[in-house]
Amino acid sequence: MIAIPSGVRIWIATGHTDMRKGMQGLALLVQEQLKRDPHAGDLFVFRGRGGSLVKILWHDGLGMSLYAKRLDRGRFVWPVGKGGAVALTAAQLGYMLEGIDWRNPQHTWRPASAG
């Protein structure tokens, strides 16, 4: 898991992205399509057409990093739309990377009584 510093904004690029793109290609997408600065320290998350692969682009102030995760089973839950970005919290990103529906996570157990 990525240790996300406090104050870092996380953006999901809606739609699907060509996963053949590397750091420079994804940074160009952030700049031209999302109209954001890829070097500002925000995390940008992209998903491929198949839905089982995501790439995360992050500039930490020293250099650009590119993280990738592929699910063995299932697909990442993704917002519908084209050409925009949806903001996430660090907790929602953690859910998403675990393959859990980040929009409405379900508690698996809740205590019946306090004592």
- Residues 57-67: tens digit of each pLDDT: 999 889 999 99
What was the pLDDT predicted at 42? 95
pTM, full prediction: 0.83
Question: Tell me: the pLDDT tens digits for 8-42?
Answer: 899 999 888 999 999 999 999 999 999 999 999 99
Confidence of residue 110 (pLDDT cuts 50, 70, 90): low
Alpha helices in the chain (DSSP H): 23-32, 90-97
SS3 109: coil
